[in-house]
């Protein structure tokens, strides 16, 4: 679906969307259209339950005095709550509504609204961005889908007073959407398509955007002593990869890079500690952390962000076989610390142990943020609304939380302390990979990871509950969400590009 911007004009075909705020207050564009329709729209609103509340729609088909298919009144809610996220939600919801109706084109009128925190130009860019995000669909493997279930919308025209300015504001958002879509695609692909080397090959495309990309294979990682990561991979026929991506748009202004590190388990069977069969097919998205890092690198490079950033993805497949790691095995990590593997299904922290140590040792970053679908326990705690945040640095935590709130990818901070740290002490090695008790599973996972970051300011985002959605939302269709890309992009923009 294409997005374009234009000055306001009544379209000759397709659908037209106008806004109505809470209390049935028509926007200026809605007033003009209503007059052209001989007040059919306002009469329809008066004789309905439509009050202009957020998420409400009212449709007038074959409107009087117009040649278009339908006029849709979109409820905008309270004017003073029309922030960027609210406008994005409007754009995404419109796409769903118009596709359901079967139109190929839609024109969306965006007005200056008194008391709204967004001016008309910014709001128009937000609506276009929301429409783009809401148009996402992963359907490349469907061969017999009925025509009536396929999306019909091909063009969305956002109409606003200063269309040229809105188009410029939308440009960076469009490139950000490309990064989100890349992550959604990677997470949605089945594990027979996205395995470690295949993910590494997809990452190579970032070179076209000016990102330096290299991939370390099994032999190089063995030379480096990455036995924690390699231990997870040893049961699989697919060779593991450490994908190293470096983009420097700072023109030398930032000597130390910031670093994003992602867990990339392209399929997680649990290994010898095998998972239950029910729901195991979902474990194709256990590489969502790595996918988010790749998507973020794409977004930053595509919009030529003025930042020095490194993206690292530790990519493995966790499988049971005659060569698989066993419960009770002890491995020596790249850091030299030894780990007793009590449960082979607690594999992500083993991957991150070596990936984070490698990142800190090679790049000496000013900070590190890792993303991982690490624990089922975080889903018990937060469901699918927030990701868990763990950090050794208050300032970093606050900045990430603020960025997440701004883009609707929210974080909730959990504690770290020596009391929890004791739960992963091993009687025969430096540590064990799961807690000796049943409680605080997400916290002890983060405590484990913390042992491999040294003194670098670090944050761990447990995204297990938010990487995949089983329900449609206006800007996040069911499936891979792309969580993390918008958050990290905003974190960079707010703190390293000003």
Catalytic residue ranges = 275, 349
Q: What is d(CA 181, CA 177) in angstroms, rounded to the nearest whole number?
A: 6
Q: What is d(CA 109, CA 18) in angstroms, rounded to the nearest whole number?
A: 5
Strands (E), 269-419: 308-318, 330-332, 338-340, 367-372, 387-391, 411-413
SS3 75: strand
Structure tokens given for 408: 């609707």
Q: What is d(CA 106, CA 149) in angstroms, rounded to the nearest whole number?
A: 18
Helices and strands in the chain: count of H runs, count of E runs: 15, 20
Q: Phi and psi (nearest 5°) for 59?
A: -120, 135
Q: Which of 396, 388, 354 is nearest to 372 (CA)?
A: 388
258-268 and 308-318 strand pairing: parallel
What is Dmax (Cα atoms) for the chain? Answer: 83
The structure tokens 């974190």 sit at 491
Q: What is d(CA 172, CA 299) in angstroms, rounded to the nearest whole number?
A: 9
What long-range pairs does 114-117 form, CB within 8 A, spacing at least 24?
114/79, 115/79, 115/80, 116/79, 116/80, 116/82, 117/80, 117/82, 117/83
DSSP 8-class letter at 465? T
The shares of helix, strand and coil residues in the chain, as percent rounded to the nearest 5, are 40, 20, 40
Structure tokens given for 301: 């490079």
Q: What is d(CA 234, CA 118) in angstroms, rounded to the nearest whole number?
A: 53
SS3 56: coil
Non-local CB neighbours of 223 within 8 Å, separated by 6+ positions: none
Tell the burial category of 412 from Cβ atoms under 10 Å away from its Cβ (0-12, 13-18, 19+): middle
Decide if 444 contacts 428 (C-beta within 8 A): no
Q: What is d(CA 327, CA 322) in angstroms, rounded to the nearest whole number?
A: 13
Decide if 186 contacts 199 (C-beta within 8 A): yes
The structure tokens 């082979």 sit at 344
């Amino acid at each position: 679906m294409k997005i374009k911007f234009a000055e306001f004009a009544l379209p000759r075909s397709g659908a037209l969307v106008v806004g109505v705020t809470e209390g049935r207050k028509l926007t200026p564009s809605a007033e003009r259209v209503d007059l052209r329709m001989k007040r059919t729209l306002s009469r329809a609103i008066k004789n309905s339950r439509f009050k202009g509340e957020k998420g409400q729609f009212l449709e007038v088909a074959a409107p009087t005095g117009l040649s278009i298919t339908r006029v849709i009144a979109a409820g905008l809610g309270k004017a003073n709550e029309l922030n960027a996220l609210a406008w994005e939600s409007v754009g995404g919801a419109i796409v769903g509504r118009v596709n359901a109706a079967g139109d190929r084109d839609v024109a969306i009128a965006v007005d200056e609204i008194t008391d709204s925190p967004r001016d008309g130009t910014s709001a128009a860019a937000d609506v276009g961005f929301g429409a783009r995000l809401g148009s996402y669909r992963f359907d490349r493997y469907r061969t017999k889908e009925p025509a009536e279930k396929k999306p019909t919308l091909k063009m969305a025209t956002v109409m606003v007073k200063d269309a040229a300015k809105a188009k410029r504001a939308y440009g960076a958002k469009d490139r950000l959407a490309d990064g989100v879509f890349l992550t959604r695609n990677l997470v949605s692909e089945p594990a027979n398509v996205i395995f470690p080397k295949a993910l590494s090959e997809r990452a190579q495309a970032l070179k076209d955007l000016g990102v330096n990309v290299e991939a370390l294979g099994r032999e190089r990682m063995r030379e480096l002593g990455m036995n924690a990561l390699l231990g997870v991979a040893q049961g699989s026929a697919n060779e593991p990869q450490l994908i190293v991506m470096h983009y420097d748009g700072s023109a030398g202004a930032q000597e130390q890079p910031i670093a994003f590190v992602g867990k990339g388990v392209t399929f997680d069977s649990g290994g010898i500690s095998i998972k239950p069969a029910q729901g195991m097919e979902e474990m194709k998205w256990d590489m969502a952390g790595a996918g988010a890092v790749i998507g973020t690198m794409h977004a930053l490079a595509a919009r030529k962000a003025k930042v020095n950033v490194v993206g690292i993805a530790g990519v493995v497949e966790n499988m049971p076989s005659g060569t698989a790691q066993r419960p009770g095995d002890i491995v020596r990590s790249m850091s030299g610390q030894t780990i007793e593997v009590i449960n082979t299904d607690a594999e992500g922290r083993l991957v991150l142990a070596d990936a984070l140590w490698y990142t800190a040792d090679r790049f000496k970053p000013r900070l590190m943020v890792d993303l991982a679908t690490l624990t089922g326990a975080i889903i018990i705690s937060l469901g699918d609304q927030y990701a868990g945040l763990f950090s050794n640095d208050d300032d970093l935590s606050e900045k990430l939380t603020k960025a997440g709130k701004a883009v609707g990818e929210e974080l909730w901070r959990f504690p770290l302390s020596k009391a929890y740290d004791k739960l992963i002490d091993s009687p025969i090695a430096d540590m064990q990979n799961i807690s000796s008790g049943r409680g605080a599973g997400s916290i002890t996972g983060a405590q484990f990871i913390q042992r491999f970051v040294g003194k670098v300011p670090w944050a761990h985002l447990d995204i297990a509950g938010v990487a995949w959605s089983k329900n449609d939302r206006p800007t996040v269709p069911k499936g891979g969400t792309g969580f993390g890309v918008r958050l990290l992009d905003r974190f960079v923009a707010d703190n390293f590009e000003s």
